Amino acid sequence: MTDAVGNLYVLGATVGDATDAMTLKFNSGGVLQWRQTWDGPAFGPFSNDSPVKILLDPNGDVLVAIVGEMASNHPDYVVVKYAAANGAVLWDESWGVTGGDFIADMEVDAAGDVYASGIGIDFIDKFSTIKLRGSDGALLWQFYDEIDNDHSASGLFLDGVGGVFVTGASDPEGDHSNFNDNFLP
């Protein structure tokens, strides 16, 4: 991802105690400006943190979405906000409600608030969507799918006037072997 002056921001994986998420900033000349590594609280070899998406907020600060392995050895949604100038962590928030929560997509609105959606794996798959305040990462609202079907979210879209759209799949009876999943609008 690039900003208005040609700086390049990269999100990827690196190896620490296991897989960690690494964010890099290069200036327009390709010179590394800063590097930040996010390593979840789980201990190795269970600390497999996975980078998902990188965005810039309206102020140019860096937002990264990570599937982060928590101390319970279950993954949660993780969103980290870094200062574009020096990579300082502005806030770092995690969210999860089931045995395993996997963030699939993230978007930011014109006010800088952050939306994330993905899947929670409990006895059956359920999708969940959250909204975090851009200034401090506080949870503003959450939607957790309570329908008895297997649902998963794979995409998240904002319409610019307050609407949030989640796409994914729904398996009507929970039998993954019969390939009769439906789109989840």
Placement of tokens 């059956």 in the chain: 124
Overall residue count recorded for the chain in this entry: 185
Judged against a pLDDT cut of 90, whether residue 120 lies above it is answered with no
Sequence-distant (6+) residues with CB within 8 A of 79 are 63, 64, 65, 66, 92, 93, 94, 103, 106, 114, 116, 132, 137
The side-by-side arrangement of strands in the sheet containing 150-158 is 150-158, 164-171, 182-184
Task: Domain 8-184: give its CATH superfamily.
Answer: YVTN repeat-like/Quinoprotein amine dehydrogenase (2.130.10.10)
Listed by start position, the domains of the chain span 8-184
Provide the whole-model pTM. Answer: 0.90
Sequence-distant (6+) residues with CB within 8 A of 12 are 21, 22, 24, 51
Each residue of 11-61: pLDDT tens digit? 999 987 889 999 999 999 999 999 999 999 988 777 899 999 999 999 999
CA distance 129 to 154: 11
Quick one: tokens of 80?
Answer: 């980290």
